[in-house]
Chains A and B, each alone.
Chain A
């Protein structure tokens, strides 16, 4: 938790880079990580799927105090986005002044630098959300 474990980060690249996860074929529930059993209905029929690339911001916060991994980036914005299928995804919101944030604003997924790690300056990429420009 004070360092990023590279194999673990690598394993979750599908969701981190593309919001790719695992959907239950029976009830349609979406999981961000590989599952053997649907956490909602208990079915074992799961297939890979991707979330929509746009969604609606339903809550947000400007983070002023952070954990060691993100200390150098404060203040930054974290939001909850309701995707087209109804799944909620928590992520950072970028390309936007905090004053411009509004509930219900349309946002889209973008691949960004999440942070730079340790002495080797390993760059970690992942999804963030940004406002959709109409």
Chain B
């Protein structure tokens, strides 16, 4: 199997880009990634976008992006796995390069949620569950998160402060990040005093509508040697699925798909959890940060809030998470989100993280979820 490297990235700022279309945002990030690596052509393009056929009434985004980049003719497709689509697109690229059929793949994720209303965005996010027993009865992504949140606090007999602290960490880390949607700090009292979206989940424990695009250039070892840009090795990528609705599972508070994808990823590479330098995880709602850390075995069940408050998960802690602000503060342009996560891990491992740079980084772990883990993707990146 060929080794796969990340040789470049391109990001747009996450925010409300009223004056730019989805395809312009994607082309912008893709051109940045190509210019960064010094390439003008790629062998394949893989696009990740989740809501284009609804909000922009546009399919064939692979062909659309190829046209925007002036490279029509190259193979180009779009990949969908809910909010984990970006990670599934990276997996597609990794598989293609590993197999030897291709050498350079441009992966580009984009989403433009502000073409719809806030209420519509919430409805779209809720499609990661089986719709007829969720969205259609008045339940939605954040109300499901709230139900899990209450179960969690009751089962482990913990107060809300700990889980709400995940938002504080994310904003702290994003405060120095140019591409972040919300680059400012907030305190725990701001989170707890913000209105409820669905009790006990506060507005400041959720993500907001966002536009953004992110791109990566993935390549084989042969190509990597010829490029001058800094590289990171993709040591592994695993995807696992579970029932889309958490209350259909054996234990709604355990994301089995994430447990499986992370365990097999680490054992394939032969490293322990203690060797992971940092984690970019999927905090689409605060409680998901806790469930992710616990399900993937980094923190004992019920103890995530305590860990968040102790400083252990902050940039100078022993297990930093969401080093550029995570979904909460960097923002969550859904189809692009996992690409941002991986690009941020790339910046850490190539020592380009600026004020957010961690010391002694070797292995970075990225965890992306569709909904509550209907698909979970774990990606291990390694310093070269």
CB neighbours of A59 from chain B (8 A): 147-148, 150-151, 154
Q: Is A7 an interface residue (CB 8 A)?
A: no
Q: Does B132 lie within 8 Å of A61, measured CB to CB? A: no
Closest partner residue, chain A, to B117 (CB atom): A68
Query: Taking each of B127, B142, B198, B200, which has the highest tally of chain A beta carbons within 10 Å of its own beta carbon?
Result: B198
CB neighbours of B252 from chain A (8 A): 80, 88
Task: Spot the interface stretch: B27-35, B242-250, B291-299, B308-316.
Answer: B242-250
Q: Interface size on A (CB < 8 Å)?
A: 38
CB neighbours of B148 from chain A (8 A): 59
Report the separation of the CA atoms of residues A68 and B54 in the bound assembly, to the nearest whole angstrom.
14
Query: Taking each of B54, B137, B147, which has the highest tally of chain A beta carbons within 10 Å of its own beta carbon?
Result: B137
Report the separation of the CA atoms of residues A60 and B119 in the bound assembly, to the nearest whole angstrom.
21
Q: Is A123 an interface residue (CB 8 A)?
A: no
Report the separation of the CA atoms of residues A59 and B200 in the bound assembly, to the nearest whole angstrom.
11
Q: Is B114 an interface residue (CB 8 A)?
A: no
Residues in B13-37 with C-beta less than 8 Å from chain A: none
CB neighbours of B131 from chain A (8 A): 1
Known: A61-B143, A64-B196, A90-B147. A1 touches B137 (CB 8 A): no
Residues in A59-86 with C-beta less than 8 Å from chain B: 59-71, 73, 76, 78-80
Q: Is B139 an interface residue (CB 8 A)?
A: yes
Q: Does B147 lie within 8 Å of A1, measured CB to CB? A: no
Q: Does B142 lie within 8 Å of A65, measured CB to CB? A: yes
Q: Does A9 lie within 8 Å of B136, measured CB to CB? A: yes
CB neighbours of A58 from chain B (8 A): 151
Chain B contact residues: helix, strand, loop or mixed: helix
Q: Does B137 lie within 8 Å of A126, measured CB to CB? A: yes
Report the separation of the CA atoms of residues A92 and B203 in the bound assembly, to the nearest whole angstrom.
21
Report the separation of the CA atoms of residues A23 and B117 in the bound assembly, to the nearest whole angstrom.
39
User: B132-152 CB contact bits vs A (8 Å, 1 = yes)?
Assistant: 111111111011101110110
Report the separation of the CA atoms of residues A12 and B136 in the bound assembly, to the nearest whole angstrom.
11
Whole-angstrom distance between the Cβ of A132 and the nearest chain B Cβ: 20
Report the separation of the CA atoms of residues A4 and B136 in the bound assembly, to the nearest whole angstrom.
8
Pick the contact of A65: B122, B136, B151 (CB < 8 A): B122
Report the separation of the CA atoms of residues A126 and B201 in the bound assembly, to the nearest whole angstrom.
26
Query: Taking each of B148, B150, B195, which has the highest tally of chain A beta carbons within 10 Å of its own beta carbon?
Result: B150
Known: A9-B136, A71-B119, A90-B245. A79 touches B142 (CB 8 A): no
Q: Does A103 lie within 8 Å of B147, measured CB to CB? A: no
Q: Does B117 lie within 8 Å of A80, measured CB to CB? A: no
Known: A58-B151, A78-B138. A15 touches B133 (CB 8 A): yes
Q: Does B119 lie within 8 Å of A90, measured CB to CB? A: no
Known: A8-B132, A68-B120. A60 touches B147 (CB 8 A): yes
Q: Is B98 an interface residue (CB 8 A)?
A: no
Pick the contact of A80: B127, B138, B147 (CB < 8 A): B147
Q: Does A61 lie within 8 Å of B150, measured CB to CB? A: yes
Known: A66-B138, A68-B120, A78-B147. A61 touches B245 (CB 8 A): no
Report the separation of the CA atoms of residues A88 and B247 in the bound assembly, to the nearest whole angstrom.
6
Q: Is B199 an interface residue (CB 8 A)?
A: yes
Whole-angstrom distance between the Cβ of B124 and the nearest chain A Cβ: 7
Q: Is B123 an interface residue (CB 8 A)?
A: yes
Q: Does A90 lie within 8 Å of B134, measured CB to CB? A: yes
Q: Does B135 lie within 8 Å of A65, measured CB to CB? A: no
User: B72-100 CB contact bits vs A (8 Å, 1 = yes)?
Assistant: 00000000000000000000000000000
CB neighbours of A90 from chain B (8 A): 133-134, 137, 139, 144, 147, 245, 247
Q: Is B197 an interface residue (CB 8 A)?
A: yes
Report the separation of the CA atoms of residues A2 and B54 in the bound assembly, to the nearest whole angstrom.
10
Q: Is A32 an interface residue (CB 8 A)?
A: yes
Whole-angstrom distance between the Cβ of A83 and the nearest chain B Cβ: 11
Q: Does A61 lie within 8 Å of B147, measured CB to CB? A: yes
Q: Does B134 lie within 8 Å of A67, measured CB to CB? A: no
List 11 A-B pairs, Cβ < 8 Å.
Answer: A1-B126, A1-B131, A33-B132, A61-B198, A63-B143, A64-B197, A65-B119, A66-B119, A67-B126, A69-B136, A114-B137
Known A62-B198, A67-B140; 18 more pairs at CB < 8 Å: A1-B54, A1-B120, A1-B126, A4-B136, A33-B132, A64-B197, A64-B198, A64-B199, A65-B142, A67-B126, A68-B123, A69-B136, A69-B138, A79-B147, A90-B133, A90-B134, A91-B137, A115-B138
The 9 lowest CB-CB distance pairs between A and B, nearest first, are: A61-B146, A67-B123, A88-B247, A61-B198, A59-B147, A70-B138, A59-B151, A68-B119, A65-B197
